[in-house]
Amino acid sequence: MTTAARQRAPVTAGRVVSGWQAAMLVVEGFWTWYRRSWRATLISSVVQPLLILLAFGVVFGSLVPTSAATGGVPYLDYLAPALLAMAAVQNAAVESTWPIQSRFKWERTYLAMVATPITSGQVLAGQLLWIAFRLAFSGAAYLVVIALFGGIAGWGAPLSLVFATLCGMAFAAPVVALAASVQHEGNAFNALFRFVVLPMTLFSGTYFPISQLPVWGQVLAWVSPLWHGTELARGAALGTLAPLPALGHVAYLAALLGAGTLLARWRFAKRLEV
Amino acid sequence: MSVLTPPDVGDRLPGPGRGPLLRILPAGRYAGRSRVLVERSAMVSRRVWLTIVSGFFEPLFFLLALGQGLGAMVGGSLTGPDGTELTYAAFIAPGLLAASAMNGAVYDSTFNIFFKFRYAKLYDAMLATPLGPVDIAVGEIAWALIRGGLYAAGFLSVMLALGLITSAWAILALPAALLVAFAFAAVGMAATTYMRSWQDFDLVQLVVLPMFLFSTTFFPLSVYPRPVQIVVECLPLYHAIELMRGLTSGAVGFGLLGHLAYFLVMAAIGVVVASRRLATLLLR
């Protein structure tokens, strides 16, 4: 290498970006991949909740009389916003398990990122922002399809999308922390899906009010982020959201998101910083 | 060319002492040792026991949550196969039994087989031994059935404990679940031999999920208009559910033999296509 080249190198390569800019560079990296392969995610993230809505909301709903249990609205209207929250949690679970592990272990994308001026905390921020974007995007696609069928009306729908995304992130952050700690594939994620995600989607008031569960089931539902997300999304869509409970649900989800982020930040630093 | 028979082929040639299957099948495709595949699967599953055990809980969660909660939404009971009233939990339980037989068989015979076939190169290694493609097909399907049988037996015990079984015929639901799982596994395995990449597995989802949701698992056929009913009546899971619901509620008639015949035909087609395709793919 000539002396001139060695002197020039730092000038061209050493452009240090600010914190948020760095996180957005991480997001841009994921977006570049997603732009080419979004079709592959469409079936699991959008078609699946729509099929559930058709089966339970429309077909099963024809057997359900409108009553106090359905909040005084047809079963389809009762179910649609809850499925938005459920899809957000399911997509969050998928996005924050195997892909995260793969970026540590197989693709080693994170290791490549921290070899640049981007820090491990910025990588995590970019990753979480990207998951939030994915959840919002899939949820918006689901809402557009329902709106075309006349399933939602009014301005409550975008608000329930915001709540559903918050709910998904409240679950994603701790799971990202878990995925950053898991060294081997095998039992951990399968157990998470079977013993946490699946029961959560069934016992969190999506299909029926949790007051129909026994007391232990209700206690479990209070812990579940999906129940809080469902209450918020449904309340916003049906216009029955009271300010004080809403504040409580948002506070719980925000606390979970914050705690999960701190935990994940610790795990990312542990794994990426030498 | 026949003079150049490799020395080890002599081991695979059907001798007079071996069974008829060995004499019918082309030489080298079946060594009668599929049990070693079952042994291997059992050894591997010891390391992922939590995953294996968790398969039992999936239908149980559905039963506990939806049987309770959704049942109250429809007023507690639905009309069973022979016109009697069934509680909602007793209505969906046989449906969930059939659906879990399908889900388990399909995922085992698609995702797992594809991984072993394409990435782990497991079958290539096995074919370097005296094992043939038919040994592999039989061994893998046998393991899937053992696993499916354990799940079905566990779920039937839970149904019995919750008082959701009203007939002694329910004992036949176990072999019926095995036949259903066998048919789905055979067809799933045949389909897997046509898969090109993981992206194609979205198609598996696209077949299995709507079938699970719309094949009268959660509601009776009568909710559909007649044209849709005809479509649903063509689906394999519909026949599986009718079979299970008839057996667990005691509504047994000759109609059940029709459902049984459906799965016998499905299994036969699946096995023939799967073993032919495996032979062409593996013994090129």
Q: Interior CA angle at B175 toward B172 and B180, to 5°?
A: 120
Count of CB atoms situated within 10 Å of the CB of B42: 12
Contact yes or no for A224/A200 (Cβ under 8 A): yes
Among all residues of chain A, which has the CA nearest to that of B206? Answer: A43
- The pLDDT tens digits along chain A (274 residues) read 445 545 554 444 456 778 889 999 999 999 998 888 887 778 778 888 899 999 998 899 888 888 888 888 889 889 999 999 999 999 999 999 989 999 998 889 999 999 988 999 999 999 999 999 999 999 999 998 888 776 666 678 899 999 999 999 999 999 999 999 988 876 788 889 999 999 999 999 999 999 888 898 899 899 999 999 999 999 999 888 899 999 999 999 999 999 999 999 999 999 998 7
Spell out a b/e string for B267-282, using b for 16 or more CB atoms within 10 Å of the CB, else e.
beebbebbbebbbeeb
- Look up residue A144 and give its two tokens: 């557009």
Contact yes or no for B192/B278 (Cβ under 8 A): no
* Euclidean distance between CA atoms B22 and B14, whole angstroms: 6
For chain B, say whether A213 makes contact (Cβ under 8 Å). yes
Report how many Cβ contacts below 8 Å link chain A to chain B.
89
Helix then strand count (H, E) for chain B reads: 13, 2
Q: What is the pLDDT of residues B194-223, one digit of tens each?
A: 888 777 787 888 899 999 999 999 999 988
A16 to chain B nearest CA, in Å? 38
- Inter-axis angle of helices B49-73 and B35-47, to 10 degrees? 80
For the residues B21-29, what does the mean pLDDT come to? 63
pLDDT given at position B5: 42
- Tell me if A207 and B218 make a contact (CB, 8 A cut-off): no
- Look up residue B194 and give its two tokens: 């046509």
Among all residues of chain B, which has the CA nearest to that of A46? Answer: B206
pLDDT given at position A156: 85
pLDDT given at position B4: 41
Residues of B with CB below 8 A from A71's CB?
none
- Secondary structure element (H or E) that encloses residue A143, with its range: helix A120-148
B71 to chain A nearest CA, in Å? 10
- A241: three-class secondary structure by DSSP: coil
Give the residue extent of every domain in chain A: 43-272
Q: What is the pLDDT of residues A156-205, one digit of tens each?
A: 889 999 999 999 999 999 999 999 998 887 678 888 999 999 999 999 99
Q: Return the amino acid letter for A102.
A: S
pLDDT given at position A153: 63
pTM: 0.84
- In eight-state DSSP terms, residue A173 is H
pLDDT given at position B9: 45
Contact yes or no for B68/B119 (Cβ under 8 A): no
Residues of A with CB below 8 A from B55's CB?
194
For chain A, say whether B120 makes contact (Cβ under 8 Å). no
Backbone dihedral region for residue B255 (phi beyond 0: left; psi -120 to 50: alpha; all else: beta): alpha
Q: How far is CA B202 from CA A137, B111, B196, B208, in A?
A: 20, 11, 12, 10
Nearest CA among B119, B112, B175, B120 for reference residue B140: B112
pLDDT greater at residue B25 or residue A88 = A88
This model of the complex carries an ipTM of: 0.83
B229 to chain A nearest CA, in Å? 12
Asked if pLDDT for residue B17 goes beyond 60, the answer is: no
Bridge partners for B87 per DSSP: B77
Residues of A with CB below 8 A from B214's CB?
55, 59
Q: What is the pLDDT of residues B172-189, one digit of tens each?
A: 999 999 999 999 998 998
Could you tell me what percentage of chain A is helix, strand and coil, using 3-state DSSP and rounding each to the nearest 5? 80, 0, 20
For chain B, say whether A211 makes contact (Cβ under 8 Å). no
For chain B, say whether A51 makes contact (Cβ under 8 Å). yes
- Inter-axis angle of helices B133-161 and B173-192, to 10 degrees? 140
Contact yes or no for B56/B155 (Cβ under 8 A): yes
Which residues contact residue B218 at a Cβ distance below 8 angstroms, ignoring those fewer than 6 apart?
A55, A56, A60, B66, B70, B92, B95
